[in-house]
Amino acid sequence: MTVGGFFGDEGKGKIIAYLAKKDNPAIAVRGGVGPNAGHTFAFEGKEYKVRMLPSAALNPTTRLLVGAGVLVNPQVLLSEVAMFKAEDRTYVDAQCGIIEQAHIDRDRAEDHLKGKIGTTGTGTGPANADRALRTLKMAKDVPELSLYIEDVSNSVNYALESGEKVLVEGTQGTYLSLFHGGYPYVTSKDVTASGICSDVGIGPKRVDDVLVVFKAYVTRVGGGPLDNELSEEEAKKRGWLEFGSVTGRQRRAAPFDFALAKKSIRLNSATQLAVTKLDIMFPSCARVRQYEKLPADARKYIEDIEGELGVPVTMIGTGPELDDVVDRRKTT
Ligand code: IMP
Ligand code: MG
């Protein structure tokens, strides 16, 4: 299972796309809120973004599942299915909630959501509110999705019982959790590892590994506190200025935050860490795929993180291509 350790946008998409290629899982299943998350990965010079499908979409033999806890925007899902030619390997749970235009309109009209919280405007908050009221439409009630409906928790548990590899993809990040983030500047659900288990319908003891993904620095979009936030000018100077993959909004930036990382490791019961975008901090890391070939200052950065946090950094991102990874896992 892979989850975000900060405020989303840690680079989970690229790590998952790499794992999907390298480990060839039978199933990749997406948890998290819904199409408010955009996961990005690049392969052979082409950039892909997924807001509904798992980031394993390029592996033609991996089944792509969306868990019951995830909200589905049918239009977004169907366009991604077509883009990846994944008609015969995409399945959404019968009980995925459906986002309709009215949810999007509400998300974008409200001063509170759009103005104060700075939501992505994708309708997820209002849809989850309707779900709590038990008035939300379910995937099983949408004819255009009928070919893709499945009992996803059943498929995932059956695969695990059969000894098959399952890659579970969390979205957003720990500090956007409705329960554990800085309320009210959070998303509309819990997005820690426990929440992701619930989204896809597995019990906590089924998870072998929780890979918490941190970026080498911290970014955040929308409102809410960000300790040691850099000025726009300073972020630009350091090359940390980023733009949101769903909304295009400029991301706020700050240095790596050990206190947040420590708490995140506990909230998610991390067994491994990934640190992405090391090449942005240390340009001579770009595209390096062997740990020994990283420059000494970059290795020290990683070793400081491991020393401080007490969890091994098993994956290091060194570029946008899904293969631009230092993979330090002992077994795969
Ligand atoms: P919502 O999830 O669209 O309701 O937005 C609530 C807050 O979570 C806003 O600050 C969004 O910018 C943030 N957010 C939601 N999803 C993501 C994500 O995938 N990456 C980064 N920020 C996100
Ligand atoms: Mg993102």
* C-alpha–C-alpha distance, residues 120 and 264, integer Å: 23
Q: What is the pLDDT of residues 140-159, one digit of tens each?
A: 999 999 999 999 999 999 99
* C-alpha–C-alpha distance, residues 272 and 200, integer Å: 21
Tell me if 179 sits within 8 A of 189, measured CB to CB. Answer: no
Tell me, yes or no, whether 254 lies in a domain: yes
Tell me, yes or no, whether 332 lies in a domain: no
Residue 40: count of CB within 10 angstroms of its CB: 17
Contact 171 CB / ligand 1 (< 6 Å): yes
- pLDDT for the residue numbered 60: 97
Contact 124 CB / ligand 1 (< 6 Å): yes
Confidence of residue 329 (pLDDT cuts 50, 70, 90): very high
Tell me, yes or no, whether 318 lies in a domain: yes
* C-alpha–C-alpha distance, residues 125 and 176, integer Å: 13
Tell me, yes or no, whether 128 lies in a domain: yes
Class of residue 129 by CB neighbours under 10 A (exposed 0-12, middle 13-18, buried 19+): middle
Q: What is the pLDDT of residues 197-248, one digit of tens each?
A: 999 999 999 999 999 999 999 999 989 999 999 999 999 999 999 999 888 9
- pLDDT for the residue numbered 58: 97
- pLDDT for the residue numbered 183: 97
SS3 content of the chain, % helix, strand, coil (to 5): 35, 20, 45
Report the length, in residues, of the chain: 332
Mean pLDDT within 271-278:
98
Tell me, yes or no, whether 33 lies in a domain: yes
Strand, helix or coil for residue 274? strand
Closest CA to 225 of 266, 183, 259: 183
Which of 7, 120, 185, when mutated, tests ligand 1's pocket best, judged by the most ligand atoms within 8 Å of its CB? 120
Mean pLDDT within 101-109:
97
Q: How far is CA 189 from CA 31, 83, 112, 290, 326, in A?
A: 11, 28, 17, 38, 32
Q: How far is the CA of 247 from the centre of ligand 2 (A)?
A: 10
Mean pLDDT rounded to a whole number for the chain:
97
Confidence of residue 110 (pLDDT cuts 50, 70, 90): confident
Q: What is the pLDDT of residues 39-98, one digit of tens each?
A: 999 999 999 999 999 999 999 999 999 999 999 999 999 999 999 999 999 999 999 999
Closest CA to 304 of 271, 275, 268, 270: 275
Residues with CB under 5 A from ligand 2 (ion): 9, 38, 245
Which of 50, 124, 172, 249, when mutated, tests ligand 1's pocket best, judged by the most ligand atoms within 8 Å of its CB? 172
State the residue range of the domain holding 68: 2-327
- pLDDT for the residue numbered 267: 98
Tell me, yes or no, whether 91 lies in a domain: yes
Whether the predicted pLDDT of 31 surpasses 90: yes
CATH code for the domain in which residue 111 is found: 3.40.440.10
Whether the predicted pLDDT of 332 surpasses 60: no
Percent with pLDDT over 90 in the chain: 97
Class of residue 244 by CB neighbours under 10 A (exposed 0-12, middle 13-18, buried 19+): middle
- pLDDT for the residue numbered 245: 86
Task: State which amino acid sits at residue 157.
Answer: N
* C-alpha–C-alpha distance, residues 206 and 223, integer Å: 35
Confidence of residue 331 (pLDDT cuts 50, 70, 90): low
Whether the predicted pLDDT of 273 surpasses 60: yes
Per the structure block, which two tokens stand in for 268? Answer: 């998610």
Q: How far is CA 2 from CA 85, 113, 157, 171, 191, in A?
A: 25, 28, 17, 9, 11
Tell me, yes or no, whether 196 lies in a domain: yes
Instruction: Give the chain's domain count.
Output: 1
Contact 276 CB / ligand 1 (< 6 Å): no
Contact 120 CB / ligand 1 (< 6 Å): yes
pTM for the whole structure:
0.97
